[in-house]
Amino acid sequence: MADVPTVEQLYEAGQKLTELKDDASKLEADYRLIVSAAQGDSKTKQLAAQFIPKFFKSFPGVQLQAMSAQLDLCEDEEFAVRVQAIRGLPQIAKDVPEYLQKSADILTQLLQASEALELEAVKKALMTILRLDAKTTLEAIFQNLDSAEPELKVLVHQFLKDKVFSTRQEWMKAANKAELEKTISDLVTQALSTATPGEVRDFLELLLSLDLYSQPAGKDHVQSLLDAVAKRAGQQDNIDVSDEEALQNLIAFTSAAVPLFKAGGTSSSLVHQLTRAVLPSFDKMLATSQLSFLKALAETSVYVSGSDARTALPVLLDVIKKLLPRRKDTASVTEDRQYFTSVEALLFTFHQLANKVPNATNPLCGYKMVTGQPSDRLNEDFTPQYTEFTERLAVLEERTKKQQKAQTDAAQKTSKEAKEAKDAAAKKDLDAQSKEQEASLRSLKTVIALTKPLHARTPKFISQPWVLSWHEAPAPASGAKRAGEAVSGAPGKRPATESNTAGRGAQNGAQRGRGRGGAGTGGGGRGGQTYAAGETRGGRGGRGNRGRGRGGRGRY
């Protein structure tokens, strides 16, 4: 420590450099003295963390050593030293842009900071750098999503969602907005290859809000995203439904892709897999997967093609019959919330598919749907099928109404107990129970609404958007309808179906249907993920090794 300058020497050096201003480069020895203070005690380190960025631009020949010292200080044992060093990185990035990406990358990794004030300093510094050069900063942030550390990946995504995406109007300047949107689109598309379903949803919400996706060429961008999500889902022609992980993967990513279907993406690959590869094997699924599959099927059913709908309807009806017993078989069904939610999903899917190919229901359910096509089979008598199907529906309605009354009584009792509860914990539990009961009642109400039109010999299949019970119903605007009812207003453009392309004869509306880049680094691409010699630093004490570029910070 003999060569480490004192606090007085540091103040003197800083004063001399300040007085010379533009001629400060003549005092390189003084700047080197400041850099060496990074090896001193707490007070000298804090001064070094303050002075290194302040005079960084004046000494190009010392910048590699100075940057390395500043990053050492960002990982120091002393909290005050770390925070001071972190706050200095935006100054370096501003004065010497060659170090901007490196600073952004290091700050991204420092999102792992455990102290609240330190973490806040990291986020503030990173947002400051983002406003200096959004494109380069975004590239540095996104490259950390490739991190092998799950914890860091989660923290990076959360930062993107909470800080970056939510403030994009502040840092996306009009002059380069189009370029930035293209950069964001490219980075997100690449990130989808390792994203979780929840991350996919967040990314898609961001992208679909960009002007890039509302322009005439936006549909092509939407399709590219959908293809990337489909690839991430790991499509298989013959998926093994007993493989819980693979099946849940497909279900989750298909559900996450729904906004892309709504935006005009062609959904055939993902939805085709649900209807043709998974649905026929419904009985082979684990019980834990069946409900999530039926929900995903319902959410995507509006986007099923006519040909897939015609193929899927007989299989779907078989599943419906297993869950909707005839009167003599009612003892075989367990009535719980999962059961009624499953039925809700099945019936909604049935409506959507039948609306696309209404005459396919004639031989299946005994309906008399007219499309003007030979496949109407109106000269054949399917009365037995109609009698059987409507009997199942009637039994379901009876059981649903009985359950609805019991649930209503239970919900009223719970609500009363919650209001009278004195203990906070008990009140919290009762409130949670009340929400569960409300969701159950929404499902029961929806089941009845979906069943009612199916008793007609020529039913009007529901094609409008619905708020299904497992989704949080939006606050109803004037005239809006609640869960289990069609969304108010025009249903929007209806997807092409066999029925609306085959003719207009269907009745009752059935035919409607530490960073890469950076000056002086030793390269290190995405493979080795190192900066220079690949040296791994031990970090400080119990804080672990953040590394400077994952795989070792390297020396300058």
Query: Please, which contacts does 188-197 make with residues 24 or more away whose CB atoms are closer than 8 Å?
Result: 188/142, 188/225, 189/224, 189/225, 189/228, 190/142, 191/142, 191/145, 192/225, 192/228, 192/229, 192/232, 193/228, 193/231, 193/232, 194/145, 194/146, 194/153, 195/145, 195/232, 197/252, 197/253, 197/255, 197/256
Amino acid at 251: I
The CA-based angle 49-521-549, given to 5 degrees, is 75
Q: Which two tokens stand for residue 402?
A: 């009985």
4 vs 7, which has greater pLDDT? 7
CA 107 to chain centroid, in Å, comes to 24
Q: Which two tokens stand for residue 280?
A: 């026929």
Q: Which two tokens stand for residue 503?
A: 């003719």
Reported confidence tier of residue 531, pLDDT bands at 50, 70, 90: very low
- Could you tell me what percent of the chain has a pLDDT over 90? 49
Burial status of residue 374 (CB atoms within 10 A of its CB: 0-12, 13-18, 19 or more): exposed
CA 469 to chain centroid, in Å, comes to 21
Residue 85 pLDDT more than 90?
Answer: yes
Residue 495 pLDDT more than 80?
Answer: no
Report the pLDDT averaged over residues 403-411: 91
Three-state SS for 418?
Answer: helix
DSSP 275: I
Q: How far apart are CA 296 and CA 247, in angstroms?
A: 11
Task: Summarize pLDDT for 315-373 with one digit per residue, the tens.
Answer: 999 999 999 999 887 666 677 888 999 999 999 999 999 999 999 999 999 999 998 88
80 vs 512, which has greater pLDDT? 80
Amino acid at 190: Q
Burial status of residue 248 (CB atoms within 10 A of its CB: 0-12, 13-18, 19 or more): middle
Residue 378 pLDDT more than 50?
Answer: yes
pTM equals 0.73
Q: How far apart are CA 427 and CA 417, in angstroms?
A: 8
